[in-house]
């Protein structure tokens, strides 16, 4: 069953910037889909169109039977409650505690003046334990390393009990060992919880290790769709250019 169906999706930023060009893409429930491509290929734009952080110019996006493009503000809020987003720069509040940052994943279920419940706090602690940060709950985020901050962001995403996680280059700011560690947590959520993951990356080695399918973008178009193990040297150069060389992350 498809969790997302995208048809003829286009995005113009201005008359000269056609970021997405007639994208057709079905994403199955339970997939770990990797988006590959150069910077500017359309990966981030595609991810942000799926939950309408960016407004598509034309086309259709269907999420579990819901029309994302035509959804009004109330419907869109409901759709987004099932879609968690993880960002390259973590998007955490650095001057508050790890626990409070994780709890903000439940903000959509709160009114302006309601307080966190005991049950929510316990769930936040459980989610921190899942990413190995149970002892960091009361530290301020600014005192954590980049890899730890991204794990906080994953725990925050889990607070939504999402059906889909969109991860926009979540390891681009991290060193290789930490990058692999963060991808491993996302892979565990995909396998153990059955959460569909769509993740943009630059590293084919990580795509091969964690992805069930790769979609490669070039100049706003889909250049390749298939198994990461089917990307040979020539396909790699088709995606990244003749001078590109693959960098391994282990």
DSSP per position, the chain? -EEEEEEEEEEEEETTEEEEEEEEEEEETT-EEEEE--TTSSHHHHHHHHTTSS--SEEEEEETTEETTT--HHHHHHHHTTEEEE-TT----TTSBHHHHHHGGGGGG--TT----HHHHHHHHHHHHHTT-GGGTTSBGGGS-HHHHHHHHHHHHHTT--SEEEEESTTTTS-HHHHHHHHHHHHHHHHHH--EEEEE-S-HHHHHHH-SEEEEEETTEEEEEE-GGG--HHHHHHHH-TT-------
pLDDT on residue 210:
95
Token representation of residue 223: 């250049």
pLDDT tens digits, one per residue of 16-39: 899 999 999 999 999 999 999 998
pLDDT on residue 108:
75
Q: Are strands 196-200 and 83-86 parallel, antiparallel or unpaired?
A: unpaired
Cβ atoms < 10 Å from Cβ of 198: 25
Tell me the mean pLDDT per 10 residues along the chain, length 250. 97 92 97 94 97 97 97 95 93 94 86 78 96 96 96 96 96 91 96 97 90 96 93 82 56
The candidate with the shortest Cα–Cα distance to 92, out of 162, 144, 167, is 144
The candidate with the shortest Cα–Cα distance to 105, out of 48, 54, 155, 51, is 155
The domain segmentation of the chain, as residue ranges, is 1-82+163-250, 93-161
pLDDT on residue 246:
57
User: Are 63 and 25 a contacting pair, CB within 8 Å?
Assistant: no
pLDDT on residue 107:
81
pLDDT tens digits, one per residue of 112-156: 567 889 999 999 999 999 999 999 999 999 999 999 999 999 999
The candidate with the shortest Cα–Cα distance to 139, out of 149, 147, 153, 131, is 149
One of 3.30.70.960, 3.40.50.300, 1.10.260.40, 3.55.50.30 is the CATH number of 1-82+163-250, namely: 3.40.50.300
């Amino acid at each position: 069953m498809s969790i997302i169906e995208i048809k003829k999706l286009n995005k113009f930023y201005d008359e000269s910037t056609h970021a997405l060009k007639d994208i057709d893409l079905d994403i199955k429930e339970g997939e770990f889909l990797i988006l590959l491509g150069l910077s500017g290929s359309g990966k981030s734009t595609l991810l942000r169109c799926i939950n309408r952080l960016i407004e598509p110019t034309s086309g259709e996006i269907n999420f579990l039977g819901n029309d994302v493009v035509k959804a009004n503000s109330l419907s869109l809020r409901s759709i987004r409650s099932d879609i968690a987003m993880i960002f390259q720069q973590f998007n955490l509040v650095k001057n508050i505690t790890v626990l409070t940052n994780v709890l903000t994943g439940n903000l959509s279920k709160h009114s302006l003046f309601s307080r966190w419940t005991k049950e929510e706090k316990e769930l936040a602690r459980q989610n921190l334990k899942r990413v190995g940060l149970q002892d960091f709950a009361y530290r301020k985020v600014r005192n954590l390393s980049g890899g730890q901050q991204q794990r906080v962001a994953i725990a925050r995403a889990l607070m939504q009990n999402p059906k889909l996680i969109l991860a926009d280059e979540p390891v681009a700011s991290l060193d290789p060992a930490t990058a692999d560690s963060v991808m491993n947590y996302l892979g565990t959520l995909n396998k153990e919880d059955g959460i569909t993951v769509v993740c943009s990356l630059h590293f084919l080695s990580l795509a091969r290790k964690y992805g069930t399918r790769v979609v490669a973008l070039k100049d706003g178009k889909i250049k390749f769709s298939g198994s990461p193990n089917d990307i040979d040297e020539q396909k790699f150069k088709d995606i990244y250019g003749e001078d590109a060389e693959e960098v391994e992350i282990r």
